[in-house]
Chains A and B, each alone.
Chain A
Amino acid sequence: MNPAAAMRSDSAPATGEPIVSLRGVARRYGDTLAVDTLDLDIARGEFFTLLGPSGSGKTTTLRMIAGFERPSEGMVQIDGKDVTRVPPYERDLNTIFQDYALFPHMTVAENLAYGLEAKRVPRGEIPGRVSDALDMVQLTDFGHRNPAQLSGGQRQRVALARAIVNRPAVLLLDEPLGALDLKLRQEMQRELKRIQAEVNITFIYVTHDQEEALTMSDRIAVFNAGRVEQVGSAAALYDRPASEFVARFLGSSNFIERDGRRLMIRPEKIRLAAGECLDGPDWHGEPARLTDAEFVGMYTRYGLELRDGQRLIAHEQNLPGFGLGVDVRPGSQVALAWHKNSVCYFDKMDAV
C-alpha cells in the first residue's frame, strides 16, 4: 500500500498491528445502551479522537479502554492481549482526567512519583524521571508546590506529566482542555501535539469540540447515540461525511432536496458571480436570489434563495476580484456554482 493511500484510507489504521482494539464492545446500564456494539482499531503512535456530543458514548468507550468500566459484551485488546478483565492498575496506559484529579495532599513531585512508586520503579531512578517529566511540560521548578497553588493551565501540565512519566504505551485524554480558556486551550493543543511527537505515545483523545478534533487528530471516530457514525481522517470526514449527522456535526453545511434525495454542500464550496451562470464540464451552475449578506471579516456570509424557494448559505473569501463585491445588494439575481465532487448525497430516511 502506498503511503498516500494509507493516509487517506477511511477506516483502516495507518500502519501495522493496532495498539488498541475493541471487538464487539457494548456497554449497558440497566435498560439504557451507552455504547452499542463497537469495533475500533487504533494504530500505534496515532493521535486518535473520539468525537461526539455529550451522552454519545465516547467517554464510556474511553473508560472501558482504561478499565474503569467493564464492557457488557465484547473484548478490549491492548497490544494484542485481551485485557477485558484486567484491572486498570495492570494496563499499560495512563489517563488525563477532565478535572485533572491531582492528589491534593501531595506536592507536584509526589504526584508524579506516585505512579513510579506504584509500578515499583527502583527508588534511585524516580527523582530523575520526575524532573525529566517536569522539564518536558516546562514546570521545572514546580516540584515542591501543592496543586492548590497552581493555575488551571499549570495543573493541566502536571496532569500531563504525571500521565507520561510512567511511559505508557497509550495515553487516554478525557476532554483535558475543556476547563481552559480559548487562548490557553490553543496553546495546550500545540503543546500536546509537540509532546506526542516527542514521546511517540498513542493518544486517544475524547472531545466534543469538532474544531479541536479536526486540527489535532490523525483519525477521528464520530460518536452519535452510542454508535460510531464514521471513522476517518479529518479531511475524509469533512469532505466525505458518511451520514447527515457527521455532516452537520463537523463544520457548517447546507442541505437541499434534489431528485428525491438530500444534497449536502459546504458553504465555502459554493462560488458566486454577479452575472452569467458559471458553468463547466464538472461544474453545476444555477441562478439564485441574494437575500442577505454579512461581513464576517475573513469571509462574507451570503444568504441565497433558489428558484424553487430552498435556501442556501455561501461563504466567499474577501479577496480582490473574488466573490460578489460591494455592488451586489440583497434582492439581486446572482449565479452560483459548485464542483460536482463537492457535494454529498444522502438518502432521505437518514435525516436526523
Chain B
Amino acid sequence: MESRLTRWLLGIWTFLVLLFLFVPVAIIVVYAFNSSNIQSWPIPGLSLKWFGSTWHNQEVRTALWLSIKAALLATTLSVLLGSAAALAVHRFRFFGRDAVSFIVVLPIALPGVITGIALNSFFGFWHFGLSYWTIVIGHTTFCIVIVYNNVIARLRRIPGSLRDASMDLGADGFATFRRITLPMLSTALLSGALLAFALSLDEVIVTTFTAGAQNTLPLWIFGAIRLGQRLPEVNVVVTVVMLATVIPVILAYRLMNQTAADSGK
C-alpha cells in the first residue's frame, strides 16, 4: 500500500521536475513558430516566417559564423593540449604531477566570471586587443578540461599489459602509441571533442569578457533579450542552437557508453 503510494508520489515529483526543466525550453520552441511578433499565450497561429527572416539577418549570420569558427579552433586546441596533458600525467611520474592534474581541471570548477575577469585583465595588461583570438583562448581554457578528463579516464582503463605486449612483439614506443594507444583513445577523443564543441558554442560568461566589439551567437542573443529587440528571431536562434548542441552531446554520450560496454568485457 505504502510503497505504491510512494511510487506514485515519486512519479508525480519526477514529472514536475521534468516540467520545471523543460517547459521554458518548450515555450521558446513554440514561440519560434509564432505567426505574430507579440509573445502572448496561446500563440495566434503557426508560421515559419521567423526562420526566413532570421536566415537573412546579417547580424545573426556574422555571429553564428564567429561562434562556429571559435568553437572549431577552441576544440582543436583543446584536443591537442588536453590529450597531451592527459598522456603526460598518465604515463610519467614527475615532480608536481598531482598539482598539474589539479590545475588542468580547475577552470571547470572556477566560476566563469572569475576566468573571464582574469583573462580580460591579463589581455589588458599585455595590451592584447580583444578579438577572435581572445575568444578562442578563453574557450580553450575550459574545453581542455573536458578533453583531459575524457582521455585520462580512458587511459586509466587501458591495461598496462597492452603496451608491454606491443613492445614485446617488436613495436617501439612510437609504433605502440600509433597502433595501440591512439586507436584505443579514438572514441574518447571524439566524444571529448564533441562535448568541447557544444560547450564552446553556447558559452556566454567568459565570452563576455574576452570578446571585443564582435558578437558570438550567445552574445547576440543575450544583447537582443536585454534590449527587448528581435525577440521572435531570438526564439528561432535558440531553437537552432539547442538542436546543434544537443546532437553532439547525445553522440558523445553514446560513444562513451558504447565503448564502456566494449571494454567492460
Contacts and interface: CB of A to CB of B under 8 A. Distances in A.
B262 A88 contact: no
Contact of A98 (B161, B171, B175): B161
B164 A97 contact: yes
Contact of B167 (A88, A105, A162): A88
B263 A95 contact: no
B165 A97 contact: yes
Interface stretch (B18-26, B123-131, B179-187): B179-187
Contacts of B183: 105
Given A68-B167, A103-B166, 13 more contacts: A89-B168, A94-B168, A95-B168, A101-B164, A101-B165, A105-B183, A114-B171, A115-B169, A118-B170, A118-B175, A119-B170, A148-B262, A166-B169
A68 B168 CA distance: 9
B161 A114 contact: no
B159 interface: yes
A66 B165 CA distance: 10
Chain B interface main SS type: helix
A104 B263 contact: yes
Interface residues of B, number: 20
Nearest to A148: B265
Given A89-B171, A101-B159, A104-B184, A114 B179 contact: yes
Interface string B155-166: 000010110111
Range, interface on chain A: 20 to 34
8 contacts: A89-B167, A95-B164, A95-B165, A95-B168, A97-B164, A103-B162, A103-B166, A104-B263
Interface in B180-211: 180, 183-184
Nearest to B170: A118
B205 to A, nearest CB: 40
Contacts of A99: 159, 161
A64 to B, nearest CB: 13
A88 B184 contact: no
A104 B161 contact: no
Contacts of B265: 104, 148
Contacts of A104: 184, 262-263, 265
B263 A114 contact: no
A87 interface: yes
Most buried by A among B168, B171, B172, B262: B168
The 7 closest A-B pairs by CB, nearest first: A115-B169, A118-B170, A101-B165, A101-B161, A118-B171, A88-B167, A119-B170
Interface in B137-173: 159, 161-162, 164-172
Contact of A66 (B162, B168, B184): B168
B159 A162 contact: no
Contacts of A68: 164, 167-168
Nearest to A66: B168
A88 B168 contact: yes
Nearest to B184: A105
A97 B160 CA distance: 11
Nearest to A68: B164
Nearest to A92: B170
A101 B170 contact: no
A211 B79 CA distance: 52
Contacts of A97: 161, 164-165
Contact of A103 (B168, B175, B180): B180
A114 B172 contact: no
Interface in A97-148: 97-99, 101-105, 114-115, 118-119, 148
Interface in A192-211: none
A102 B159 CA distance: 10
B126 to A, nearest CB: 45
B167 A87 contact: yes
Contacts of B168: 66, 68, 88-89, 93-95
A118 B175 CA distance: 8
Contacts of B165: 95, 97, 101-103
A98 B164 CA distance: 12
A169 B110 CA distance: 57
A105 B265 CA distance: 13
Contact of A162 (B161, B169, B263): B169
A138 to B, nearest CB: 22
Interface in A149-186: 162, 166
Given A88-B164, A101-B165, A103-B180, A115 B170 contact: yes
